[in-house]
Amino acid sequence: MTRSSMAKQAGMGLIELLIAMVIGLVIVGAMMSVLVSTRATSLAQNGLAQLQDDQRLALIMLSNTIQGAGYFPNPLTSTQTIELPANATFVNAGQSVAGSTGVAAPGDTLTVRYEAGTADGMMDCNGRGNTSGANLVMVNTFSVDANSNLVCSVNGGAVQALAANVQNFQVFYGVDTNADSSVDRYIAAGAMTNANWANVISVRVTLTFTNPLAGQPGQAATLAPITQIIALMGRV
């Protein structure tokens, strides 16, 4: 075999092998970068979608329950003060909301009561109607647990999680101080008097949610708070 033919049949040299390896590593690195970026984007999108679901459900359940405060099914034959008597939680007969102020996150508690009939469509904060066969007073208590879930219990029963990723829950009560059917002040539960509780006509709730993009550059740990004002059915 001649020298020229041996040269033509020579394999890849060390330099060529190293160059090929470097090119391969660059390609693999680029692919890994794209994969990691795609996965992060997917997780962020899923987190945002879940956040929107949590926000929507939390506001729906709060609004539906608070709007029903003070309702009772037989206004032609009874009164609110008879159907909703005073007790340890509600200091005034007819009072339909109560609560406590938390000194720090996760914040306040809110208790709402109304009387549900057997066929009026009234439901509790867990989405259940009255199946007792008679009129039933439903006492719904909202709070945020240690796992950042907005939860609710009914008539002292087990708590049920409604929405996740809630960092803080604040409640202020719109008080009509001069009987003109208009809110004059919004007051925290800790500053309410017995007379104030008897004259609440709306509730202002504020929810602060965890930011699903927290940890990324420029992203805060929580999102801007969401506030909603809800009128009480029994006082409008």
pLDDT band per the 50, 70, 90 thresholds, residue 45: low
Q: Buried b / exposed e across 197-206, counting CB within 10 Å, b at 16+? A: bbbbbbbbbe
Residues 6+ apart with CB under 8 A from 72: 78, 80, 83, 84, 114, 115, 135, 234
Under a CB-based contact definition with an 8 Å cutoff, are residues 209 and 54 in contact? Answer: yes
Question: Per-residue pLDDT tens for 2-36?
Answer: 555 555 555 667 777 777 777 878 887 777 777 66
Strands 136-144 and 97-100: unpaired
Under a CB-based contact definition with an 8 Å cutoff, are residues 234 and 70 in contact? Answer: yes
Neighbours of 127 (CB within 10 A): 12
25 or 47, higher pLDDT: 25
Phi, psi of 185 (to 5 degrees): -150, 150
- pTM metric for this prediction: 0.80
**Paired residues of 110 in beta bridges:** 99, 142
Phi, psi of 68 (to 5 degrees): -80, -5
Helix segments in the chain, DSSP class H: 3-8, 14-67, 80-83, 194-197
What is the reported pLDDT for 42?
A: 61
Domain ranges of the chain: 43-235
